[in-house]
């Protein structure tokens, strides 16, 4: 046994006994073994259910308040939901409020992600997850309270988003969930656990949308919105308590005199980890993987922006047909992700990057078929072809977690989360502009653009796969002491 192997074995023995292990200037305390669960998927499921439940009814509430309070139209015109004859009047203002809310709840948390990731590497995943869940719960509690004020100006509802924005929002919950799963799994089970997250996301969207509509429709009260918001706030508070008391911490806490969140040191450590030279060209592979994953989010968000406009122009669909299609795609994508990861990784035994290359190729085919579809049946068929495309998400995250050591996982996921959060700000206006210029002559041009981007993604991930074949397992050699980022504790 080599000296390095003996040294690593001694460190593992020290940590398993709860004894301090000293890496130069770094001191790590392994917490004493505590009882708790490492199954965090129910937390994300309930979080998404609570969020979708309220987000479903927010647009109707804002349209109604804009009609009654801002435009001061008669009550007969301001039905709930508003009638089609006044919809054109209220939609511009409602769109501005929704855009402002999206910026508050997405941009600020995406910037905070570069702090949260490195901070959680040293201080644990649980603390800030509980803080984020509490902030989101407070946001929906504020929505409930404000909805009880009948003459409130609709722009005031933007204030309710501040607690979510300042506590990290959805970006922090996703980031810390992915980091936690990377901490508690090995390379054999990690991709499956990530795929369960995707299935939970789609299931919660379907259940939350249906439950929100039912509550607003059938609650026997004049204002049915505040019970929906208060229910979301209660669910988030409960899962925050569950996370604090029932979930086991996954990180060996690094004891330091300075554990502040808002310090530039976190940014410098993140940048250092991102540009650090790694074995087997792993640094270059990580950059390419993050770029390809960001491009996948870019395409998805852009297509979501224009799909309803496309099907209404091409197939004369109404909202009912579009909602049915959305439910169909969410079901097929959720099941396809779970089955696809099992099929590609377990049954066929493909490497992560080879599987991702094939998936982006199928994404390109799916986008091409959508662009060329001439009727509803062909459009459904194209969506079915793409049932497995979201398998790339868990596989990419699993591969990324294998290329970096445990003490850098939060930093790398923070970089990915930051770029992911920013991508819709670019994809939404770009896809909308392409559609506006082409919908009269070639409405499917936006899907051809996605087809091109998917082909680019396939080539990027193919480069990574070929590189891994050339260097072998060297790129996975992540065994090294943590960087000297913590001061000595006297």
pLDDT value at residue 338: 86
Residue 144: the pLDDT is 93
Q: 137-158, pLDDT tens digit by residue?
A: 999 999 999 999 888 888 999 9
**What's the confidence (pLDDT) of residue 25?**
36
Q: What angle do CA 291, 327, 109 make, to 5 degrees?
A: 40
- Please say whether the beta carbons of 149 and 112 come within 8 A: no
Which candidate, 283, 279, 274, 290, places its Cα nearest to that of 460? Answer: 290
Tokens found for residue 145: 């309270």
Domains of the chain: 37-251 (1.20.1250.20), 263-477 (1.20.1250.20)
| CA nearest to 163, candidates 192, 195, 135 | 135
Please list the pLDDT of the chain residue by residue as tens digits (490 residues): 443 444 444 444 434 444 333 333 333 334 444 567 888 889 999 999 999 888 878 878 888 888 888 887 777 777 666 666 776 677 778 778 877 887 788 788 888 888 888 888 778 889 899 999 999 999 999 999 999 988 888 899 999 999 999 998 888 998 899 889 988 888 778 888 888 888 888 888 888 878 887 887 777 666 788 899 999 999 999 999 999 999 988 887 766 544 666 566 667 777 777 777 787 788 888 899 999 999 998 998 888 878 877 887 788 887 678 878 888 888 898 888 889 888 988 888 889 899 999 999 999 999 999 999 989 999 999 999 988 988 888 899 888 888 888 777 778 888 888 888 788 778 878 888 888 888 778 888 989 999 999 999 999 999 999 998 888 777 776 554 444 443 333 3
CB 449 within 8 A of CB 457: no
What are the E-state strand segments in 90-132?
Answer: none
Alpha carbon distances (Å) from 305 to 134, 364, 371, 445: 30, 18, 15, 14
On whether the CB atoms of residues 56 and 209 are closer than 8 A, the answer is: yes
Q: What is the DSSP letter of 312?
A: H
- What is the chain's alpha carbon radius of gyration, rounded to the nearest angstrom? 24
Helix (H, G, I), strand (E, B) or coil at 26: strand
Residues 69 and 153 sit within 8 Å (Cβ to Cβ): yes
- Alpha-carbon span 247 to 176, nearest angstrom: 13
Task: Render pLDDT for 281-315 as a digit per residue (tens, 0 to 9).
Answer: 888 888 999 999 999 989 988 888 788 778 877 88
> 88: exposed, middle or buried (C-beta count within 10 Å: 0-12, 13-18, 19+)?
exposed
Q: Specify the long-range contacts of residues 18-21, CB closer than 8 Å, at least 24 apart.
A: none
Let me know how long the chain is. 490
- What is the CB neighbour count within 10 angstroms for residue 409? 26
81: preceding bond cis by omega (within 30 degrees): yes
CA–CA separation, 489 and 25 (whole Å): 9
């Amino acid at each position: 046994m080599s000296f390095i192997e003996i040294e690593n074995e001694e460190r593992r023995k020290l940590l398993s006994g709860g004894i301090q292990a000293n890496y130069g200037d770094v001191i790590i305390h392994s917490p004493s073994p505590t009882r708790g669960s490492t199954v965090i998927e129910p937390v994300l499921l309930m979080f998404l259910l609570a969020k979708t439940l309220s987000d479903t009814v927010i647009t109707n509430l804002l349209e109604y308040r804009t009609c009654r309070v801002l435009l001061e139209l008669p009550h007969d015109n301001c039905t709930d939901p508003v009638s089609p004859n006044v919809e054109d009047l209220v939609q511009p203002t409602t769109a501005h409020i929704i855009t402002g809310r999206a910026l508050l709840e997405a941009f600020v948390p995406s910037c905070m992600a570069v702090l949260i990731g490195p901070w959680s590497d040293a201080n644990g995943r649980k603390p800030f997850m509980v803080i984020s869940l509490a902030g989101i719960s407070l946001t929906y509690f504020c929505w409930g309270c404000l909805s009880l004020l009948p003459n409130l100006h609709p722009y005031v509802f933007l204030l309710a988003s501040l607690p979510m924005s300042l506590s990290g929002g959805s970006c922090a919950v996703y980031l810390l969930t992915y980091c936690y799963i990377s901490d508690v799994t090995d390379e054999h089970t990690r991709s499956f656990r990530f795929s369960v997250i995707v299935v939970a996301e789609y299931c919660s969207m379907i259940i939350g949308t249906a439950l929100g509509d039912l509550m607003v429709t059938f609650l026997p009260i004049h204002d049915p919105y505040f019970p929906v918001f208060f229910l979301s706030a209660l669910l988030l508070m409960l899962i925050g308590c569950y996370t604090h008391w029932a979930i086991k911490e996954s990180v060996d806490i690094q004891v330091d005199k300075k554990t502040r969140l808002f310090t530039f040191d976190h940014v410098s450590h993140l940048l250092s980890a991102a540009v650090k030279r790694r074995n087997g060209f792993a640094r270059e592979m990580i950059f390419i993987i993050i770029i390809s994953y960001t491009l996948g989010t870019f395409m998805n968000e852009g297509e979501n922006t224009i799909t309803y406009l496309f099907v209404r122009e091409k197939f004369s669909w109404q909202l009912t047909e579009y909602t049915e299609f959305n439910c169909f795609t969410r079901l097929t994508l959720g099941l396809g992700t779970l089955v696809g990861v099992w099929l590609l990784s377990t049954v066929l035994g493909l490497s992560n990057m080879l599987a991702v290359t094939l998936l982006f190729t199928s994404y390109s085919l799916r986008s091409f078929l959508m662009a060329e579809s001439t009727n509803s049946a062909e459009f459904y068929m194209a969506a079915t072809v793409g049932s497995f495309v979201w398998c790339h998400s868990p596989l990419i995250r699993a591969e990324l977690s294998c290329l970096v050591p445990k003490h850098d996982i939060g930093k790398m996921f923070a970089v990915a989360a930051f770029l992911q959060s920013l991508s819709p700000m670019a994809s939404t206006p770009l896809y909308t502009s392409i559609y506006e210029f082409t919908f009269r002559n070639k409405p499917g041009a936006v899907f051809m653009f996605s087809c091109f981007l998917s082909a680019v993604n396939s080539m990027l991930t193919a480069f990574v796969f070929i590189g891994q074949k050339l260097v072998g397992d060297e790129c996975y050699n992540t065994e090294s002491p943590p960087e000297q980022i913590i001061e000595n504790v006297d």
